[in-house]
A and B are shown apart, each in its own frame.
Chain A
Amino acid sequence: MGRMLLISRLVIGDIRRRWVQSLLLVVMVLTTTTTLTLALTLHHASQNPFARTRAATKGPDFVAENGPAPGSGDPSPSQFAPLMHAHGVQATAGPFPVAFTRLTASGIDVPVDAEGRDIGPSPVDQPLLTAGHWVSAGGAVIEQGLAEALGLHVGDTISLGGHRFRVVGIALTTARPFYPASSPGLVWLTSSDAKSLATPAEPLGYVLDIKMAPHAPLHALDAPSQAFATSSGVPSSVEDWQGIRADDYRVIALDQKVLLVGSWLLAMLAIASIAVVVGGRMAEQTRRVGLLKAVGGTPKFVGGVLLAQNVVLALGAAIIGLGAGTLLAPTLGSPGNGLLGAATSPSPTLGSAAFVMGVAVAVAVAATLAPAVRGARMSTLRALGDAAHAPRRRARVIALSAALPVSMLLSLRLIARRTRRTVLTAASLMIAVTMVVAALAVQRSLQTHQSHAAAGFLASSAIYQSANHVLVILSVLLGILAAISATFTAWATVIDTQIATALARALGATPRQVGAGITTAQLLPGLVAACVGIPAGLMLYQLAGGNLNDAMPPMLWLLAVIPGTLIAVAAATAIPARIGARRPVAGILRAE
């Protein structure tokens, strides 16, 4: 009990004394856990709403449809007879007539299927109205995903195949995937209105919704489906509800893929950044370790204190991150608006929450373990003397730097002293650049899609818009983390090299030269990160399912990433470099 009290006092004391570093650690863990929560929440976003929507709309188990094709006869409702009378079928709705036409509204022209419906309720696939009322003569009901994409509301006027209709309702269905997962889009009209849209060139097709009995044999519809497909002589298909759900999921899958890849990148960045922060915290705690040992603290106790300091912060940040991720999730669910509740109520499951907490603790422990073990093993006398971890000697770099201007000489030698820290900095910046370049590729693909006047691209544009939304959020999060990481790395460098830089100033280096040296020491990994991050970002885009043929950002954009990265790094490190270059020399040298 007494030991726990002592550890908690030491942890609280450390957090209060080094509150800026503690805050940085919290921000890093928080950003990572927020993104992980988003990714995991989105994973379930399309599955649960589909089930709810299916139940609310009396969703069919199978949907059969036929349609016209050049050179084949006109589709007929009688072709559905084998399916309607098949063994195991409990109920059917239809066949409903479907007109294959175009919807024009607000200058946008998209292909749609206009399905003719009875005014009364249907025993299978009764679309659920989210606004307005059901079909009436001259009144159209728009599928919610399509309405969202086109910005249509109840009361708007649309044109279908040149005929004017009023939007009287907006509704959900699970008889076909929501727009943009399904293109053409879907509107419902009265049967007579739908039939009026048919033309000799585009005759009507038909759709039948089928509900199977609860204990119907698994493959009861296989043979009738075969008979339906072969007997009709026109293009026809039968799709089960699982296929429709998979198509719905496809829309959210791109977001989820981007988020998952991004969250793993974030986790890597967080580990690298947290390692730097924790390393910096440990470098300042050497004397404290010595004091704890001098008053009787065992290596295990010292290691425990160091671990507890970071794990407590990580746990706190993970709880906030879970909350933030839960709040942010609806903003990413927009493509799922075609399903009931997809946009409004995704929340992390207990398993996801446990996973996120576990990752946060694991990251904190992984980053703390090596310095904690080192601290615990360090001799008491050495720790009391605040002996710094011996820097590495890189003879070639030292020889090379001798011929360079003073600030470059200092920066190269700073880099050579702590190569692992430099690699971590380069890695964290590279991850951020990767995400920015991937976001640029998505931006480019959006531009390409929008430049095509044909609205057939609208469906895929909506998917890319959504992915872009996710990427922008991720890029911002990664940018914040990378900036914090760069700032803290610069500060850790200042602390670690304070004697070397004070000595350089005592020997005649100016504060500007020292400051430029510290900044340049961060710019060099920044340059490497930008050069590697550009191709890595393009690869990430392809990995997430993108096609670079229509998404390759202009060379100017890509080249601008390099100076952009360097300017961002210079800005992030300017303050620590300036402080480090102007610290009182005599105080530092005398303290030794």
Chain B
Amino acid sequence: MKRFTTALAMVLTLAGAASAQTLINGAGATFPGPMYSKWFSEYKKLHNNIQINYTANGSGAGIKGVTDGTLDFGGSDAIMDDGQLKEFRDKQGVGVLAFPTVMGAVVLTYHVAGVSGDLKLTPDAVAGIYLGKITKWNDPALVKANPGVNLPKSDIVVVHRSDSSGTSFVFTDYLAKVSPEWKTKVGAKAAVDWPVGLGGKNSDGVAGLVQQQANSIGYVELIFAVQNKMTYASIQNPAGAFVKPSLESVTAAAAAAAKTIPDDFRISITNAPGKDSYPISTFTWLLIPEKIKDPAKQKAIVDFLTWMLKDGQAMAAPLTYSPLPKEVVDKEVKAIAKIK
């Protein structure tokens, strides 16, 4: 009996300790992983009793985890489709909210003999290359956009991601918007049936292939290209301007799309209007259930989101993430109140 009381006391003490320390678990998209690590560790410095963990294991895992209720929140580079929203509602009995956190872009990196400067690509050229219709570097569609550049008459070696990834989702989503043929023949998803090209595993694999193969082209995240000092192309946006991907041109795309952002933030901002917008830009989202049962967790998540939108945004640029434009931040601050 005495042993039992001791054990009970120990359990109660442990439970007491746990309630003082609020533990929040999340997982998902790999692209914002470094940003989230930074935020969560900075936030822990300010609020010692709140521990937020994040495992960067892919957008699919984030969506699945938050839907099954094994995670407190998920991270995703892809918006949840209607089927996924319905599945969430069926399993959890409430809806799910999406909050954009930072932004990124997909850039086209290339390795072409004699072309060192800025390669310019039109949407038709990008779609044509990935559909396998433009096969030579001196194709008229490429030459016309690059006057004065000596493009070789070699075959284009096309490289894409072989693993499922948010990067591929953003890129194929863009292609589906600019090319009706891509939309019907291939479509937009984290993994698709690529009409042509070599598959590299992860961004490293794509970068390795592009470096190794002469006359090649591939796509990676802007951050990855910047960190690895890769050359990347300017893309023509819907306003007709060729825009080089940068933190500013990505934020500009979100600002240009801000008016059309719905209240649930489910929007793809690829091919955004505005002459400064880089057309292959994207938000990355935190997925949070509408109703959080544990009041301590609910308060911690709400407080963190408020902090992230106010102080956290300033930490984005040094890590080469594009911060959210003011219009989006204001809209999100209002949306936080929906978390009950």
A binds B: no
